[in-house]
Amino acid sequence: MNPSMIPASREDAAALDATDPLQAYHDHFDLPEGVVYLDGNSLGPPPRASLNKLRDTAEREWKDQLIASWNDAGWIDLPKKCGAKIASLIGAAPDDVLVCDSVSVNIFKLVSALYLARKAVSEPCAIAYETDEFPTDGYILQGLAKLTGTSLKKIASNGPDAAFADGIKIVVKSVVHYKSAAITDIAAWERAAEKNDAVIVWDLSHATGVIALNMQRVGARYGVGCGYKYLNGGPGAPAFIYVAKKAAEELDQPLSGWMGHAAPFDFADGYLPAPGVKRFACGTPPILSLSALDGALDVFDGIDMHAVEEKAKKLGDLFLARAMALDLTSASPGLDKQRGGHVSLRFGHSYEVVQALIAKGVIGDFRQPDIMRFGFSPLFLTYTQVWDAVDILGNILATEEWRKPEFAIRRTVT
């Protein structure tokens, strides 16, 4: 949003709400009264369709139809069905996305498969991730490096041209940075990877459902992402894996479970991988979680992701402009800059301020060492809610209410 167009009053914010093209989506969600939920970037709220689908799966399909529901209710097809819905949001072919496992497990499967393919032709193959990447990505790669004995490197955030030195052939990188919300130029990185005969596994966790993506158009062939953030699939919702079909056919993933078999119900002794991304399935799919995600994804049917991204940016700009007036420091790209669906602020007592905000019904989260992080999910948030949230933040800072002892008590999940 051009800084000159940022609402100057609550009335201006209300005027934006009145003309919001996404306004009708607000009623799809079931949120507590009086809560301003600025944590959809960590856990999306429940869509009504998701809760209804979950109830139907548990109380009718499971309770009444029992095991017949694997066929009659289409349980066995849910990983592909949900994958096709996600594919439409990331610009992938419907058959190239599968919902399965967690982001961590999917990174392991995909990077392992890529590493084994390189090793099979005796190519040197160092693996790398950025120094400030989301921790689980690095942890998984550290474990994989120990298992395989391959070289693991950390690279600085200096852009794609500097990323593929020292024999680096596989890079894991987020599209939207989990702290700053900076958006990566996927096409530029893919061009650099191709030039260096390397590949990139994209972590789409903080991007899917909030920014417009077109993985096929920019030449991206590999990706993983979660279902519980902007996709609103519920706590612990299963993740997804994206592998372009031609690329998938060349890979053998190491967790060769029976659901990744070409004919799992033949119960054959030998493993024969399924075609395409289906070979990246492993164990039995978690049907209740998949059903909740399936219902949540219906909310996105026919949605214009460019409109979603535009509103996320406008909400973030409104919040950021008013927060800067409180003398807070931004850890995110500034006003009218390309940014994902959240804004991060620095403050010496960020944890305590976030707890004070939560006590007043404004829910954000804290990230070490000093980050207050606020997500702006465009489907249920309004401009007036964001305006009010900054008013509450300003009051907490002005009164120093955050100094109350109860707000300093560290909880397990921050």
Q: Which residues are catalytic?
A: 134, 203, 228-229, 373
Helix (H, G, I), strand (E, B) or coil at 351: helix
DSSP output for 282-336? -S---HHHHHHHHHHHHTTTT--HHHHHHHHHHHHHHHHHHHHTTTPEE-S--TT
State the Cα–Cα distance between residues 339 and 80, nearest whole angstrom: 30
Helix (H, G, I), strand (E, B) or coil at 355: helix
Six token digits for residue 172: 């894991």
For 265, counting Cβ atoms within 10 Å of its Cβ (0-12 exposed, 13-18 middle, 19+ buried), the class is exposed
Name residue, tokens 């403050």: 347
State the Cα–Cα distance between residues 197 and 191, nearest whole angstrom: 10
Six token digits for residue 188: 């530029």
DSSP output for 12-58? HHHHHHHT-TTGGGGGGB---TT-EE--TTTSPPPBHHHHHHHHHII
State the Cα–Cα distance between residues 132 and 126, nearest whole angstrom: 18
Instruction: Compute the Cα dihedral for 7, 11, 15, 17 and give only its sign.
Output: positive
